[in-house]
Amino acid sequence: MDGNRALLDRLVAWSPVLLLGGLAALTYWLDAQVQPTPVHRDGSTRHDPDLFLTQFKAVTFDAKGLPSESLSAARAAHFPDDDDVELTAPNLVLAQPDKPTLRINADRGVIAGDRTHGDFRGHVRVERDADPNASGTATEPSGPVTLTTSLLHVFTHEQRVETDQPVTIEEPRGIIRGRGMQFDNQAKRVRIDSQVSGTLSPRPQQARQ
């Protein structure tokens, strides 16, 4: 009994210390939960450029060593937070074997961090070389094609472009205007969503022998 009584007396004596220690630990834990995440001072959490290039040019080659993508610009700025590259006066060339070459230029552009897509803005112009293997229909023009618009989203690997803005399409048979467009260079298809107008001559008949 005396031993139990002594142990109880010691616990009672130490109880204020234990209580204060528990409160201190709880206060520290609560303070840690409400503190903001430490800010990195290297700029990686802000949308600030970490690299500038002038007269920039980059070329991507396919498995056979042939150039498949070529991107150049008067100025390029890289942003470490999302790995995007902002371009001034960009010029993008997409080429594949047995496909007509696609050339895209604009006032400004942004290439996403994964390099598979990007946006081009301001006086956007797309030029596609003639395709002698196309059918020559309205949805599959065979001659050289020029597209102009104010905003264009480009899928580089798929060689596909689209916009929800007014667009003008010019080719040897005539000119078409509309709003909203999808152009697939690999599938050789173009679609205009709405407000279609313009003139398109029938495909000229080949001279008989």
Per-residue pLDDT of the chain (209 residues; tens, 9 = 90+): 555 565 555 545 555 555 555 666 666 666 666 656 555 555 556 778 888 899 989 998 888 888 889 999 999 999 998 889 999 999 999 998 888 999 999 999 999 988 899 999 999 999 999 887 776 676 667 779 999 999 999 999 899 999 999 999 998 889 999 999 999 988 888 899 999 999 877 655 444 44
SS3 track for the chain: CHHHHHHHHHHHHHHHHHHHHHHHHHHHHHHHHHCCCCCCCCCCCCCCCCEEEEEEEEEEECCCCCEEEEEEEEEEEECCCCCCEEEECCEEEEEECCEEEEEEECCEEEECCCCCEEEEEEEEEEEECCCCCCCCCCCCCCCCEEEEEEEEEEECCCCEEEEEEEEEEEECCEEEEEEEEEEECCCCEEEEEEEEEEEECCCCCCCCC
pTM: 0.71
